[in-house]
Amino acid sequence: MSPFTLDPPRHALVTGAGRGLGRAMALALADLGCPVTVNYLRNREAAEAVVGEIVRRGGAAVALAADVADPQQAAALVTAARAALGPVGILVNNAGIGNARPVFENTVEDFDATFAANVRSAFIVTQEVLPDMREMEFGRLVFLSSIAAVNGGVISTPYAASKAALVGMMHHYAASLMRWKITANALAPAFIETDMLAGVPLPPPESMPLGRMGRPEEVGTLCQAIVSCGFMTGQTLHVSAGRYMT
């Protein structure tokens, strides 16, 4: 049972929610009683499995496909989500990619693709849900950044730059939306057991500050805390076992 509450629960849209951190946050928000739209790009089976788990726990959820970096698809996603579960009160901008490559192999094509998936998508979907939030005078925007935004990380130059850009985006939304009681915050994980890090050379878990990698569910718990708190905005929460301290 979650130590956090949200009264009343709000419809949560989680992008890229079929697996990894997105899945964990979708399940965590469902545990708060939130109806959840599980967005996915290609893996319908995985997204439907998340929906099935939420329903098994007594919640409400729907899986909707969309490339959220495409304005028309993002608009259609939000329209369909609203029709299925009501106005969107919580948006978790989790969709993204990270192509690991040495610095001398960076390409413009990878840079553009990474920024489209990680940054453009967050901007597009956020703009689509803001009218709902403004009308309700309630909103929670959560942006998935990374420790790479502050220390460069281990994936690639475009990935680190995109995660830093999300923090800047979050700051502007936070400063601009307070009068409508809309908050914006970011989560910055490091070394979480997800598919993205499966092909990345990492130090052995026992050499890490807490002797292990992080679990997606631990990021999910912090997501619950962010959406439960109406008195925090403009902050980045580092889930990094002390690799970055603030």
Compute the average pLDDT of residues 233-246: 90
Please name which of 129, 143, 157, 191 lies closest in space to residue 22, comparing C-alpha atoms. 143
Give the E-state strand segments of the chain in sequence order: 11-14, 36-40, 61-65, 88-93, 139-144, 182-189, 236-239
3-state secondary structure of 9: coil
Residues 6+ away with beta carbon under 8 Å from 80: 64
For residue 208, what pLDDT is reported? 72
Q: What is the pLDDT of residue 200?
A: 66
Q: In this predicted model, what pLDDT tens digit does every residue of 181-194 receive, in sequence order? A: 999 999 999 989 88
| Joined tokens for residue 168 | 């800047």
The predicted-structure confidence for 106-131, as pLDDT tens digits, reads as follows 999 999 999 999 999 999 999 999 99
State mean pLDDT over 199-210.
71
Instruction: Report residue 190 CA to chain centroid gap.
Output: 14
Residue 181 has what pLDDT?
98
Q: 214: closest CA among 233, 186, 187?
A: 187
Among candidates 231, 143, 216, 215, which has minimal Cα distance to 181?
Answer: 231
Sketch out the chain's domains with CATH numbers. Answer: 11-239 (3.40.50.720)
**pLDDT (0 to 100) of residue 245:** 86
Name the residues annotated as catalytic.
159
On the question of pLDDT at 1 being above 70, the answer is no
